[in-house]
Amino acid sequence: MYPFEGLFSLLVLSLVLETQALTPTHHLTTTDVARLQAVLSQPFTDLKSAYYSVVGLSKLGIFVADADETCRFINSNLDPSSVESLFYAAEASQALSGCEIPVSNDTRDLLLATVSEDSTASQIHQSVSALSALGLPLASQEVVSALKARISKEDNVLAIILALQTASRLSQQAELGEILEEIEDLAARLDDLGGVYLQFEEGLEATALFVSAAYSLSDHVDMEPPLKEDQVIQLVNSIFSKKSWDSLSEAFSVASAAASLSNNRFHVPVIVSAQGPAAVSHSHPFLQLQVTDVLCQPLSSASVLVESASAVASKSAILNQAPFTLRDGVFELNFMASQPASGYYQFSVAITGDSRFVANHVELKVKVSTRVAINNMDLSVVDKDQSIGPKTTRVEYPTKAKASFMADSHQNFAMTFQLVDETTGVELTPHQTFVRLHNQKTGQEVVFVAEPDSKNLYKFELDTAERKTEFDSISGTYALYLMVGDATLENPILWNVADVVLKFLDEEAPGTIQAKTLYVPKPEIQHLFREPEKKPPTVVSNAFTALVLSPFLLLLILWFKLGANISNFTLSPSTILFHIGHAAMLGLMYVYWTHLNMFQTLKYLAIIGSLTFLAGNRMLAQKAVKRIAAEQSSRLAKYRSLR
Amino acid sequence: MSNSVISVISRFLEEYASSTPNKLKVIDAYLLYIMMTGALQFLYCLLVGTFPFNSFLSGFISCVGSFILAVCLRIQINPQNKGEFLSISPERAFADFLFAHTVLHLVVINFIG
């Protein structure tokens, strides 16, 4: 069931990600690798930490300084009766050159005896590794059957990883096919997080150990592991996203994974990063890229090529199939030689040279910066009615105009200039071109935007009368600054061009100049609660209550006059019960008005009502009987009288 | 013109006083009481105002409902209508009257607020 699911998900994954290849978002930099080495180089306290340090460093290609000292340490801490101790010692001594562990027959027998179905996968792994590290013979087929039995019994991820590691130590003639299939099963168990990470829920260590075990077994049997390129990149992201490691075993697992990913027969992930910011300019015309493997070692056999480079804004292609040249371990390309205009460019880079390369197509965004120059800065004061011709003063950057300009409500102050690329002379339109007027006495500052016209000539006009609200009608000398800025400009400009004396009509100026109070407490808002409705005076209400109740008196009087009486009142139990029940119902109505809600009332009403109904039914039936009897007797009397 | 109106009214009153059974007169007095109560409530509403409106509505509807139920009772009890209400005895009519009143009062008290 798992392989099928795994295959299906791989198919879907490959279909989905076919269009965009993943590139690693996390990788180890040289400082990270140095930190990893430092962690593994810590002085070891016991045999286990010695194993991690020595073997871990050997995977990174570093050999321990004093091998003899370490060898002595290993030998003194070795416990020949423990398989685990033998494992650490054997592996560590193999990594050191010229370190021998004395092996006795008992040791060998102990190790061989551990290879059975009754030991755990971890024990089998340790004994087989120790046997192979010490150069002792072992029966591969026995190991295979023991491993298969253990895998089916202990179905957890770590056991299977250890089985994979063990299998990579066995003879190539042994039947490792079933164990090889476990790689695919394990790969299906990885959790895909957001399409970026792929890791076991058991954590980083398990994922890293899986990678190193899978590749060592695959290399051993010379069969490509069933991991897709994107899965490999996602594994790289997961394993190398953590840059500081909690324990020695975690650091060891990361080092093993890094070693196997940088040097195996099938997949070598390529890490491409720009040296410094990916920006070129006339002063730095070379785009420099570092192309390394996961251990930050430069790839010697790689050749880097720009497949296409196009401007982001205009989408016009600048480069096609341009190669990078390798110099001092860094690949560089003189992009300025193609004379690109300033802006952003999208590069598509391919790294070839080895069929094992994974993630060898990279997209980069490169910025081309330039220096801006201001040409033809002309300042003038124009009369509104155009009666006097404008006097234009040209100012050169970065000097300031000698005379200050006067403008009052009848005149406009105008400024025109051009912004060009310093080297090519091409007109530029940077994102920020502001004109700032600063009143030095009051500290007021007003900023305007200068807009370019269709010929990319910037114009700024200040109509004194129209803009008086921005200035609060405060006359005085204002220093005029031009501010030019953009992400692709190397030299942003803040230039005090001239002083402008503005005269506003005096009566509009405020008496005192107040700083804009934006951040003071605002007046408190009083919440207006809903006014209760106006009620009529109590006297009126009371009077009308009495008035409305008065017809009742009238009713009683009328009934008395008509002769209504209760002489027919029988004192039978049903009658009394009926009247009590009826009175109770009316009382319940009053209680409902004052205390209860509908549900409670209905409950009580049901009880009282049913009692009243039964009693009333009885009572009315009795009355009916009496009435019918009376009618019959009167009819009989009439009949008799007629006869 | 007014003469004939007065004579019609006085003749009507005479007929009423003589030929209506006492039971019906009792119910008629009750009807008059209900009508006056309703009219006075309405007068209050006109003069003073509709606050609180829900109370006015429930009181007024109580009067209207009671009036209607009493009229029904009167129709059903009237011996001259016996032919139309063969299956409904006067006691049954009274029981219906009481049950309908219970429901009416439940609604009125709920709405009176």
pLDDT at A389 over 70: no
Answer yes or no: do B94 and A620 touch at CB < 8 A: yes
* Residue B55 contacts A, CB cutoff 8 Å: no
Answer yes or no: do B32 and A558 touch at CB < 8 A: yes
Q: What is the mean pLDDT of residues A41-49?
A: 87
Q: Which amino acid, A8?
A: F
User: Over chain A, what is the mean pLDDT?
Assistant: 85
pLDDT at A475 over 90: no
Answer yes or no: do A627 and B51 touch at CB < 8 A: no
Calculate how close chain B gets to A638, using CA atoms only, in Å.
18
Answer yes or no: do B110 and A540 touch at CB < 8 A: no
* Residue B58 contacts A, CB cutoff 8 Å: no
Please give the backbone phi and psi of residue A544, each rounded to the nearest 5 degrees, phi first: -70, -30
Answer yes or no: do A616 and B95 touch at CB < 8 A: yes
Q: How far is CA A413 from CA A389, A419, A470, A503, A559, in A?
A: 13, 20, 15, 12, 103
Answer yes or no: do A620 and B105 touch at CB < 8 A: no
Closest alpha carbon within chain B to A601: B106
pLDDT at A88 over 60: yes
Comparing A1 with A280, the larger pLDDT belongs to A280
Question: Do the Cβ atoms of A592 and B109 come closer than 8 Å?
Answer: yes
pLDDT score of A14? 47
* Residue A592 contacts B, CB cutoff 8 Å: yes
The domains of chain B are located at 21-112
Percentage of chain A exceeding pLDDT 70: 94
Answer yes or no: do A536 and B51 touch at CB < 8 A: yes
Answer yes or no: do A558 and B90 touch at CB < 8 A: no
Answer yes or no: do B26 and A593 touch at CB < 8 A: no
Residue ranges in A199-247 assigned as alpha helix (H): 204-221, 229-239
pLDDT at A358 over 90: no
Q: Which bin fits A320, alpha (ψ -120 to 50), beta or left (φ > 0)?
A: beta
Contacts of A593 in chain B (CB under 8 A): 109, 112
- The CA distance from A303 to A364, in Å, is 17
Query: pLDDT grade, residue A254 (50/70/90)?
Result: very high
Instruction: Indicate the residue of B25, B48, B51 with minimum beta-carbon distance to A562.
Output: B25
Contacts of A558 in chain B (CB under 8 A): 29, 32-33
Closest alpha carbon within chain B to A628: B89
Q: What is the mean pLDDT of residues A273-284?
A: 84
Q: What is the mean pLDDT of residues A282-291?
A: 87
Instruction: Indicate the residue of A534, A589, A624 with minimum beta-carbon distance to B105.
Output: A589
Contacts of B21 in chain A (CB under 8 A): none
Query: pLDDT grade, residue A15 (50/70/90)?
Result: very low
Q: What is the mean pLDDT of residues A350-373?
A: 87
Instruction: Indicate the residue of A533, A558, A593 with minimum beta-carbon distance to B112.
Output: A593
CB within 8 Å of chain B, chain A residues 405-464? none
Instruction: Indicate the residue of A534, A555, A616 with minimum beta-carbon distance to B29.
Output: A555
Contacts of A547 in chain B (CB under 8 A): 40, 44
Contacts of A589 in chain B (CB under 8 A): 105-106, 109
* Residue A591 contacts B, CB cutoff 8 Å: no
Q: Which residues pair with A406 in a beta bridge?
A: A501
Please name the helix (run of DSSP H) or strand (run of DSSP E) that holds residue A258, with its range, or none: helix A248-262
pLDDT at A544 over 80: yes
* Residue A596 contacts B, CB cutoff 8 Å: no
Comparing B38 with A504, the larger pLDDT belongs to B38
**DSSP characters over A307-335:** EEEEETTT--EEEEEEEPEEETTEEEEEG
Closest alpha carbon within chain A to B40: A548
Closest alpha carbon within chain A to B93: A620
Q: Which of A174-183, A305-314, B101-110 has the highest mean pLDDT?
A: B101-110
Contacts of A563 in chain B (CB under 8 A): 22
Contacts of B25 in chain A (CB under 8 A): 562
Instruction: Indicate the residue of A582, A593, A609 with minimum beta-carbon distance to B109.
Output: A593
pLDDT at A18 over 70: no
Using a 10 angstrom Cβ sphere, with 0-12 exposed, 13-18 middle and 19 or more buried, the burial of residue B110 is: middle
Answer yes or no: do A562 and B110 touch at CB < 8 A: no
pLDDT at A406 over 60: yes
Query: pLDDT grade, residue A440 (50/70/90)?
Result: confident
Query: pLDDT grade, residue A19 (50/70/90)?
Result: very low
Query: pLDDT grade, residue A17 (50/70/90)?
Result: very low
Query: pLDDT grade, residue B67 (50/70/90)?
Result: very high
Q: Which of A3-17, A387-401, A471-485 has the highest mean pLDDT?
A: A471-485
pLDDT at A510 over 80: no
Q: Which amino acid, A572?
A: S
Name the DSSP letter for residue A366.
E
- Report the relative pairing of strands A357-358 and A268-269 from DSSP bridges: parallel
ipTM summary value = 0.85
Percentage of chain B exceeding pLDDT 70: 99
Question: Do the Cβ atoms of A497 and A402 come closer than 8 Å?
Answer: no
Contacts of A624 in chain B (CB under 8 A): 89-91
* Residue B18 contacts A, CB cutoff 8 Å: no
Answer yes or no: do A540 and B48 touch at CB < 8 A: yes
Comparing A23 with A253, the larger pLDDT belongs to A253
Contacts of B104 in chain A (CB under 8 A): none
Coil, strand or helix at A61: coil
Question: Do the Cβ atoms of A324 and A331 come closer than 8 Å?
Answer: yes
Answer yes or no: do B44 and A548 touch at CB < 8 A: yes
Contacts of B54 in chain A (CB under 8 A): none
pLDDT at A1 over 60: no
- In 3D space, the residue among B34, B97, B30, B98 whose CA is nearest the CA of residue B60 turns out to be B34
pLDDT score of A500? 87
Q: How far is CA B24 from CA A564, B28, B71, B90, in A?
A: 11, 6, 10, 12
Residues in contact with A312: Cβ distance below 8 Å, sequence separation at least 6, in sequence order: A343, A344, A345, A346, A365
Give the pair of three-digit tokens for residue A96. Answer: 């050191």
Q: What is the mean pLDDT of residues A66-85?
A: 86
Answer yes or no: do B36 and A551 touch at CB < 8 A: yes
- The CA distance from B59 to B65, in Å, is 10
- In 3D space, the residue among A461, A223, A620, A608 whose CA is nearest the CA of residue B97 turns out to be A620
Q: What is the mean pLDDT of residues A299-311?
A: 85
* Residue B5 contacts A, CB cutoff 8 Å: no
Query: pLDDT grade, residue A16 (50/70/90)?
Result: very low
* Residue A599 contacts B, CB cutoff 8 Å: no
> Tens of pLDDT along B89-98?
888 888 899 9
Q: What is the mean pLDDT of residues A217-227?
A: 89
pLDDT score of B3? 84
**pTM of the predicted protein model:** 0.60
Contacts of A544 in chain B (CB under 8 A): 40, 44, 48
Answer yes or no: do B90 and A627 touch at CB < 8 A: yes
pLDDT at A99 over 80: yes
